[in-house]
Amino acid sequence: MILLKSFINIFHIPELRKKFLFTLGVLVVYSFGRHIPVVGVDVNALQQWIENVKGLGGLFAYLDMFSGGALQSSTLFSLGMMPYITASIMMQVLGMSVPYLEQLLKEGEYGRRIVNQYTRYLAFGISIMHSFFFATMLERNNLVLEPGWSFRLLFILSLTVGSMLVMWLGEQISLFGLGNGSSMIIFAGIVGRLPDDMVRTVHYVREGMTSPIIALIIWLVLVAITACVVFLERGERKIPVHYTRRVVGQRVYGGQSAYIPFRINNANIMPVIFAGAALNIPMFFASMLSKKFTFFRILYENMLPTSVVYNIVQFLLIFFFTFVYTSMIYDPHELSENMKKNGGFIPGIRPGKKTADFFNYILTRIGVVGALYLGILAALPNIMAIMIDNMPFYLGGTALLIVVGVALETAAQIESYLIEHRYDGFLSSGRITGRRVIR
C-alpha cells in the first residue's frame, strides 16, 4: 500500500506527471514498432534457425536479447539502440585520443552538440553495415522468400530507418521524459521479453522438455542474481577529505569535511560491452567465412558462448577493460593535484605524491573486486546454459545489469521530484540515493 501511494503521488506533480506519461507514450510507440515485420523474411524459419543453430545463431540470440526479441522476428526495430550505443562508445574512445574531438568536448554545450551530430552520422553508417550483414546472413541460410538486390535494398532501408527512429525516440526521452533515453529503450526491450520467457518456461514444462524443479531453479537463480546486482551496484568506498581554512578578504573558506565516493563498479557496463564487441565481431566474420576456410570453421566451433575457452577469454577481457576504463575515468595524480589546490587532504596521508599513490592503491583494490563481479556476472548465464539442457530463455548478466541500473536511476530521479515537492520518497524504507559504505 505504501509503494502504491508513492506511485500515485507521481500524478500529483504536474511536471513529473508529464515526464512520466511522455516516457510511457514513447515506450508504447517503440513496443508497437517492435511488432512491425520487415517484408520478405520467413520469420518462422528465422526463429527456428536462431534457436537451433550454434555459432552465428548464438551470436544473434545474444544480440536479440537487447532488441527485446525484435531481431528474432525481423521487425522494423530489429537493430534497436545497438548502432547508436556502438557509435557512442567509439566516439567516447576517440574523444580521449583524437585532439580535435577532445578540444570539441572541452568547448561546452556547443562542442557536445557537434560530437553528438558526429555520433548520429556514425550510427547511421553502422546501421547500414549491420543491415547489410543481416540481409546477407538471411539469404545464405535460405530464410528469405525472394532473394536478390530488391530484397537487400528494401531490408537495409527498413532496418536503417527503424534504427534512426529508435535513436530519435531515445533522444526525446532524454529531453522531455524520465531517465536516459537509450537506457530506457533497452530496458523496455529486455523487460518486455519477461512475459514471453515465463510463457515459454511453462510451455517447456508442459511439453516435458524440462522438469518443473529445473524451471523453478532457473527463476530462483535469476532472482538471486538480480538481488546481488542491486546489492553490489549500491556499494561504494568513501574516502574522507578535510579542507583547511583560508581567509580571502573578509570571508573564510574551507574548514569542512567531505568525502570522495569510489563505487565498486566504477566502469559500469562498459567493460562487458567492450569484451562482447571484441569477441562477437571477429566471431561474426569467422562465421561468415567458415564455409570457405577450415581455419575460420575451427575458430567459431571452438569459441561458442557455451564453451570453456569462450568464457575464459571473455572473463580475461572484462578484467582488462575494467582497469582500462577506470583509468580513463579517474586519474589519481589529477585528483591529488585538484585536492591540493583546494586545500584538501586525506587524514594521515601527505598531500601530493603520497595522496596519488593512495588513490591508485584504493582504485586497484576496488577495480579487482569490480572486475571479478562483472566477469562472473557475464559468464554465469553461459555456465547455466552448459549445465542445463533446453534452457527456456537466455537472459544474460549484462541484461540484468542494464535493467537494475536503469531501474535504480529512474527510481532515484522520481524520488528526488517527490522529496522536492514534500512527498514521501519512492521507497519509504530509506532514500534510494543512499549507498552502502564499504570499509
Dihedrals phi, psi of 360, to nearest 5 degrees = -60, -40
Dihedrals phi, psi of 242, to nearest 5 degrees = -110, 145
pLDDT of res. 165:
92
115 Cβ partners below 8 Å, 6+ apart? 91, 95, 101, 104, 105
The answer to whether residues 235 and 435 touch, using CB atoms and an 8 Å cutoff, is: yes
In the chain, the percentage of residues whose pLDDT exceeds 70 is: 81
The answer to whether residues 230 and 404 touch, using CB atoms and an 8 Å cutoff, is: yes
Short-list 39, 291, 284, 290, CA closest to 144:
39
pLDDT of res. 298:
76
Query: At residue 418, does pLDDT exceed 60?
Result: yes
301 Cβ partners below 8 Å, 6+ apart? 55, 290
Half-sphere exposure of 377 (CA within 13 A, CB side): 31
What domains does the chain contain, in order, with CATH numbers?
A: 13-193 (1.10.3370.10), 208-394 (1.10.3370.10)
Mean per-residue pLDDT of the chain: 77
56-86 pLDDT per residue, tens: 445 555 556 555 556 667 788 888 887 887 7
**Predicted structure pTM score:** 0.72
- 395 vs 349, more confident: 349
Query: At residue 331, does pLDDT exceed 50?
Result: yes
